């Protein structure tokens, strides 16, 4: 077959319309019948190509690509039925109506004609009105078929393009979201590779101070629009968490960003979990996700209900980042799922629902963790292997803090060799103490020193414990022994909230001094507050590793630093942190940081 001729032909037919003249082959071995039919068809305005038998009809079909073929049934060399088979095969996807010319009236013979690929009959002797009606009817069918084929090809092409684009978008998204710690030993999760196109998101990131933040969410809508919203959320979540920002700051930033960029009918139902494995607490913010669960080791189940509007709905002024704080112990598990679980449908269009969810959690055991039990139960219920595509679940086990020290922390590394000798003073005053966290900024300054970057966790702990000590015990005068009991724990934080409203006139001043010989270095941190201080020469009260006025925080600082001492009226602490390239940091950096 001549492909070039075929494509020219296709192009010339592209704008053909109903009523245009057609090329029609008439194949009949009877000379007189041929001429009669030719005259009739020509009178209708069509172009006629004549063939004397089936073989010639097929040859002429190859050459002229006619739109309609009229075939006598019985012809020498090749009969109409064979010719019809050949022509239909040559036409492929294109509809070329084949109409048999026949004086047969035997039903079996007529049926065989149609089985060979014929579309209809014209009985001899010919009737002009019938011929015209049939040619017109088949031409309409042919045009409709062609329109559908063109549209089908277009849809197929669009779909292929969409899949290609989704694949690219998914890879970009994976690059943004890859720094997570979802593979940490205490996290179980289920998320489909294409979940971002269902609008589902799941991120986890270690914090510089230890512990981790986890965000699970569900955007309204599907496909690319939902995926677009996920990109900035991933950037903000990972960027701010790894710099040491607290849940409130991260949530406010995400909400503000989404409220600004998304149309008002798009938002993100989400739950944010901030785990602190050292102190055994988790802060939960739930805006629009079905209640999560705090599964206690003893079998009790606490609900973590949604108490906020979803992210991206409220203006920054009205948004609340208030979290619920829970005390947790090793062996407890926090579990969240998107609404795909509750709304999973079986073949009778029943939903999975709360009762089945609780039954599934009841069936969990040591061998079958809650998340696995829940997933199994959903797929048993729906009876559908594909149902997992719409489900996103995460569970985080509370483990001893020491179990997670290997988690790689990726603080953006500077290409420069970094500052060697520097001093920085930074003071936070008045109401700013209540609503601003200076630690990310201070950590950022310290992380400019490559060697300190290797032990960012320790540096952050030193900074944050000194700051917490100055704020909570110095400025706010909160007694740390309250935190020893469960009731006191709540009371402590309620009181902290209350006292933060009257920080006017107070200030906390940081002085950071860094010097290095190249292989070793020293970071001196002096933190001074405007609290009353205390008599640190009193042996009993100044014991730093004792649960006294100064709390457990400073004991931790002392463990990390070579020296920690109180100065002035007891409202000033000086801590010296030493680093050495010969010593492995206790919290390991990621491999690529270590090679620098």
Partner 1 sequence: MAIQSRRSEDGRTLVISIDGRFDFSSHQSFRDAYEHGDQQVNDYVIDMSDTTYLDSSALGMLLLLRDYAGGDAGRVRIENCNSDVKRILSISNFEQLFSIK
| Minimum distance from residue 317 beta carbon to partner 1 (Å) | 10
264 binds partner 1 (CB under 8 A): yes
CA angle centred on 248, ends 246 and 254, rounded to 5°? 105
Query: Which one among 131, 191, 266, 512 touches partner 1, defined by CB under 8 A?
Result: 266
Q: What are the backbone dihedrals phi and psi of residue 528, each rounded to the nearest 5 degrees, phi first? A: -125, 135
311 vs 573, beta carbon nearer partner 1: 311
**8 Å CB contact between 47 and 88:** no
218 binds partner 1 (CB under 8 A): yes
Task: Write out the two tokens for 443.
Answer: 């950590």
206 vs 287, beta carbon nearer partner 1: 287
87 vs 215, beta carbon nearer partner 1: 215
| Minimum distance from residue 382 beta carbon to partner 1 (Å) | 17
310 vs 388, beta carbon nearer partner 1: 310
Q: Which of residues 240-259 bind partner 1 (CB under 8 A)?
A: none
HEC profile of 162-179: HHHHHHHHHHHHHHHHCC
287 binds partner 1 (CB under 8 A): yes
Part of the chain binding partner 1 (CB under 8 A), chosen from 250-258, 285-293, 418-426, 483-491: 285-293
**8 Å CB contact between 205 and 235:** no
Part of the chain binding partner 1 (CB under 8 A), chosen from 74-82, 116-124, 281-289, 561-569: 281-289
432 binds partner 1 (CB under 8 A): no
HSE-CB of 339 using CA atoms within 13 angstroms: 14
Q: Which of residues 288-307 bind partner 1 (CB under 8 A)?
A: 288-291, 306-307
118 binds partner 1 (CB under 8 A): no
Q: Which residues pair with 437 in a beta bridge?
A: none
313 binds partner 1 (CB under 8 A): yes
339 binds partner 1 (CB under 8 A): yes
Part of the chain binding partner 1 (CB under 8 A), chosen from 51-59, 217-225, 294-302, 379-387: 217-225
Part of the chain binding partner 1 (CB under 8 A), chosen from 26-34, 44-52, 260-268, 465-473: 260-268
d(CA 586, CA 445): 21
**8 Å CB contact between 265 and 286:** no
221 binds partner 1 (CB under 8 A): yes
288 vs 521, beta carbon nearer partner 1: 288
Task: Write out the two tokens for 518.
Answer: 């190249």
Cβ-Cβ contacts under 8 Å for 97 (sequence gap 6 or more):
67, 68, 69, 119, 120, 138, 139, 141, 142
270 vs 560, beta carbon nearer partner 1: 270
Strands 292-295 and 333-337: antiparallel
Query: Which one among 310, 548, 570, 585 touches partner 1, defined by CB under 8 A?
Result: 310
DSSP states of 198-257 as a string? GTEEEEEEE-TTSSEEEEEEEESS-HHHHHHHHHHHHHHHHHHHHTT--HHHHHHHHHHH
Q: How many chain residues interact with partner 1 (CB under 8 A)?
A: 20
CA 552 to chain centre: 40
Task: Write out the two tokens for 181.
Answer: 């710690």
Of the chain, the end-to-end C-alpha distance in Å amounts to 65
275 vs 319, beta carbon nearer partner 1: 319
d(CA 196, CA 441): 32
DSSP states of 76-119 as a string? SSS-HHHHHHHHHHHHTTS---EEEEE----HHHHHHHHHTT--
391 binds partner 1 (CB under 8 A): no
| Minimum distance from residue 161 beta carbon to partner 1 (Å) | 23
Part of the chain binding partner 1 (CB under 8 A), chosen from 179-187, 216-224, 376-384, 467-475: 216-224
285 vs 460, beta carbon nearer partner 1: 285
| Minimum distance from residue 264 beta carbon to partner 1 (Å) | 5
220 vs 283, beta carbon nearer partner 1: 220
80 vs 310, beta carbon nearer partner 1: 310
57 binds partner 1 (CB under 8 A): no
| 295 sits in which H/E element | strand 292-295
220 binds partner 1 (CB under 8 A): yes
HSE-CB of 548 using CA atoms within 13 angstroms: 12
310 vs 589, beta carbon nearer partner 1: 310
Interaction mask 67-106, partner 1, x per CB under 8 A: ----------------------------------------
Secondary structure tally for the chain: helices H, strands E = 18, 20
240 vs 259, beta carbon nearer partner 1: 259
| Minimum distance from residue 262 beta carbon to partner 1 (Å) | 10
| Minimum distance from residue 343 beta carbon to partner 1 (Å) | 8
| Minimum distance from residue 340 beta carbon to partner 1 (Å) | 11
**8 Å CB contact between 554 and 536:** no
Cis peptide before 125 (omega within 30 of 0): yes
| Minimum distance from residue 282 beta carbon to partner 1 (Å) | 20
Query: Which one among 108, 265, 348, 487 touches partner 1, defined by CB under 8 A?
Result: 265
Of 348, 302, 364, which is closest to residue 375 (Cα–Cα)?
Answer: 364
User: Where on the chain is the footprint of partner 1 (CB under 8 A)?
Assistant: 218, 220-221, 264-267, 269, 287-291, 306-310, 313, 339
């Amino acid at each position: 077959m001549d492909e070039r001729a075929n494509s020219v032909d296709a192009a010339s037919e592209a704008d053909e319309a109903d009523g245009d003249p057609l090329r029609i082959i008439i194949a009949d071995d009877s000379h007189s019948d041929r001429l009669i039919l030719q005259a009739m068809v020509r009178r209708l305005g069509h172009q006629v190509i004549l063939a004397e038998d089936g073989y010639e009809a097929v040859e002429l079909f190859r050459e002229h690509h006619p739109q309609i073929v009229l075939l006598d049934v019985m012809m020498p060399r090749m009969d109409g039925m064979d010719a019809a088979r050949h022509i239909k095969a040559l036409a492929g996807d294109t509809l070329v109506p084949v109409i048999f010319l026949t004086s047969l009236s035997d039903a079996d013979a007529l049926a065989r004609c149609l089985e060979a690929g014929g579309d209809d009959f014209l009985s001899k002797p010919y009737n002009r009105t019938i011929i015209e009606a049939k040619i017109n009817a088949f031409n309409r069918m042919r045009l409709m078929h062609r329109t559908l084929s063109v549209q089908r090809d277009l849809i197929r092409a669009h779909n292929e393009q969409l899949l290609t684009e989704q694949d690219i978008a998914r890879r970009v998204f994976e690059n943004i979201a890859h720094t997570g710690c979802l593979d940490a030993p205490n996290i179980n999760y289920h998320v489909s590779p294409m979940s971002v196109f269902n609008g589902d998101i799941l991120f986890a990131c270690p914090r510089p101070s230890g512990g981790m933040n986890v965000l699970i969410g569900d955007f309204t809508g599907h496909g690319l629009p939902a995926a677009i919203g996920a990109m900035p959320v991933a950037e903000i979540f990972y960027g701010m968490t790894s710099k040491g920002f607290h849940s409130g700051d991260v949530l406010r930033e995400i909400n503000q960003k989404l409220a600004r960029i998304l149309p008002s009918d798009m938002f993100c139902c989400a739950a944010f979990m901030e785990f602190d494995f050292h102190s055994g607490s988790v802060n939960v913010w739930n805006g629009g996700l079905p209640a999560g669960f705090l599964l206690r080791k003893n079998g009790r189940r606490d609900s973590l209900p949604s108490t906020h509007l979803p992210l991206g709905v409220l203006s920054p002024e009205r948004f609340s980042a208030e979290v619920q704080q829970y005390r947790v112990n090793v062996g407890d598990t926090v579990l969240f799922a998107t609404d795909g679980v509750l709304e999973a449908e079986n073949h009778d269009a029943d939903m999975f629902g709360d009762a089945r969810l609780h039954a599934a959690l009841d069936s969990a055991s040591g061998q079958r963790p809650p998340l696995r039990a829940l997933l199994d139960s959903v797929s048993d219920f729906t009876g559908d292997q594909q149902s997992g595509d719409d489900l996103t679940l995460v569970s985080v086990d509370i483990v001893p803090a020491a179990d997670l020290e290997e988690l790689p922390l990726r603080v953006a590394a500077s290409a420069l060799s970094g500052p060697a000798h520097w001093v920085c003073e930074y003071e936070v005053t008045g109401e700013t103490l209540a609503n601003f966290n200076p630690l990310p900024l201070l950590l950022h300054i310290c992380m400019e020193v490559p060697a300190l970057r290797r032990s960012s966790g320790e540096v952050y702990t030193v900074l944050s414990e000194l700051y917490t000590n100055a704020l909570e015990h110095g400025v706010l005068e909160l007694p740390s022994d309250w935190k020893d009991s469960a009731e006191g724990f709540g009371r402590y934080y309620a009181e902290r909230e209350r006292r933060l409203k009257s920080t006017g006139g107070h200030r906390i001043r940081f002085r950071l001094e860094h010097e290095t010989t190249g292989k070793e270095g020293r970071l001196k941190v002096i933190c001074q507050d405007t609290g009353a201080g205390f008599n640190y020469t009193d042996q009993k009260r100044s014991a730093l590793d004792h649960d006294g006025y100064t709390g457990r925080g400073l004991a931790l600082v002392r463990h990390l630093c070579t020296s920690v001492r109180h100065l002035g009226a007891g409202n000033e602490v000086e801590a010296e942190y030493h680093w050495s390239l010969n010593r492995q940091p206790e919290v390991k950096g990621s491999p690529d940081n270590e090679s620098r």
